[in-house]
Structure 1
Amino acid sequence: MRITKIASQIAESALSLVGIRILTEEPHYVGSALGDGVELRRYGPRMAAETTVTADEDRARNIGFRRLANYIFGANHRAESIAMTAPVAQSGREEIAMTTPVAQSRAAGDRWTIRFFMPSKWTMDTLPEPDDENVALVTVPGQTVAVLRFGGDRSPTAVTARSSQLLTVLRDNGIEADGEPVAWFYDPPWTLPFLRRNEIAVPVKAQSP
């Protein structure tokens, strides 16, 4: 069964190389187009595992991703074996399915908060407690966000440029931002750049998508 699981993970990694995402749940939302490539989305409350890292933007993303990946791949307090869908895999630690997107936002200065959103089947009562004290489980309130989707480069320079582009669209449409831009990443680093799905999201005053 371990060999089967490894083979499945290799297959998923190969598919992600060309931007194909399988078995990854995305938070549900209701949306409508605003124009200029921007979409308004209304999300309900969501749960997330998050960590804050003090480093430059790229390094913070890498460190935060590793911390959160360790949590969902078993670094948690619930020492029990669970059955997954076929093929069945058993582990002494509970695994949590990967979801998208991964979110990154600036906390203050060079402090960055990285989030993995949790699958909808879990609740705060059923999620296992992280082993790492730097990982916290949080409830993200429902909110309306304006989202600009882009592919390719997701360097700090690209994120800053897309954030400015999104804020300009909002200003031109008379929509007031209600928070700072957040970068959302849907694909691993090895995905071919032109096939990556990246987004910038900015909370806005309540709209009706």
Structure 2
Amino acid sequence: MLKKITDTALQIVEGAGGIVGFRAGTEEPLYVLEELLGDVEIRRYGPRIAAQTAVAGDEEQARSDGFRRLAGYIFGGNRRQTKIAMTAPVAQKSEKIAMTAPVAQSRGAGGESVIRFFMPSKWSLELLPEPDDDRVELVEVPSETYAVLRFSGDRGPDAVAAKTTELLDSLRDSSFAPSGEPVAWFYDPPWTLPFRRRNEVAVPVG
């Protein structure tokens, strides 16, 4: 039943957001813009909570599988059956976990993709319902400063790799040094028209 609800809800969103995606009215993690290095933004983020899952396979398939797995959690695949509130009508009851942006993708220690949904700011780790799927975990993301490069259009592995190289090259002669692994952030679903997409590559800096 949960899978049917999740698939139906995703189909509704696909239909409603086929042109522009689901970003309108979607909460994003707050940050302070500390500096600009050409097209690169230095952003300081506060602590956040995320639901994450590790997925094997190529990057694009892993992103799709991870998205659906995490969507299952916020659509009610949790111990309290708390459901999401989205821009298209979805059956709701009790409390709501709202969709936030971006969806984050990085590499785990074993080479698998780690996909994250950031939770709305009103939730704490103690108050969020426990996932039914043991492949989904809730984690605290500490306060960090990131160098971020925004781009639109293609967000396949080659495009992400090229933009990551561009980002790292931009930091070479600056006072900011990478202090961790790069991550990709995606603000729109894959059916969004390429020129409307907001994509970012980011790397923690010290």
Shorter-normalised TM-score: what interval?
A: 0.7 to 0.9
1:70 is aligned to 2:91: no
| TM-score normalized by the length of structure 2 | 0.85
Q: Following the alignment from structure 2 to structure 1, what is the Cα–Cα distance between the partners of residues 90 and 31? A: 31
Aligned equivalent of 1:3 = none
Aligned equivalent of 1:185 = 186
Q: Following the alignment from structure 2 to structure 1, what is the Cα–Cα distance between the partners of residues 181 and 106? A: 8
Shift of 1:180: 0.8
* Contact 1:45/1:141 (<8 A) preserved: yes
Aligned equivalent of 2:177 = 176
Q: 1:82 to 1:37 in 2, by over 3 A?
A: closer
Q: 5+ residue gaps in structure 1?
A: 1-5
Pairing 1:20-169 to 2, within 5 Å after superposition: 21-79=23-81, 89-91=91-93, 95-108=96-109, 110-169=111-170
Larger radius of gyration: 1
| TM-score normalized by the length of structure 1 | 0.84
Q: Following the alignment from structure 2 to structure 1, what is the Cα–Cα distance between the partners of residues 62 and 82? A: 31
Q: 1:36 to 1:14 in 2, by over 3 A?
A: same
* Contact 1:12/1:22 (<8 A) preserved: no
* Contact 2:45/2:143 (<8 A) preserved: yes
SS in 1 for 2:163: helix
SS in 1 for 2:134: coil
Greater mean deviation of Cα atoms: 27-36 or 179-188: 27-36
Equivalent AA in structure 2 for residue 75 of structure 1: G
Shift of 1:154: 0.2
Q: Following the alignment from structure 1 to structure 2, what is the Cα–Cα distance between the partners of residues 126 and 90? A: 18
* Contact 1:55/1:110 (<8 A) preserved: no
Q: 1:154 to 1:202 in 2, by over 3 A?
A: same
Aligned equivalent of 2:196 = 195
Q: 5+ residue gaps in structure 2?
A: 1-7
Q: 1:23 to 1:167 in 2, by over 3 A?
A: same
Size of the aligned set, in residue pairs, is: 196
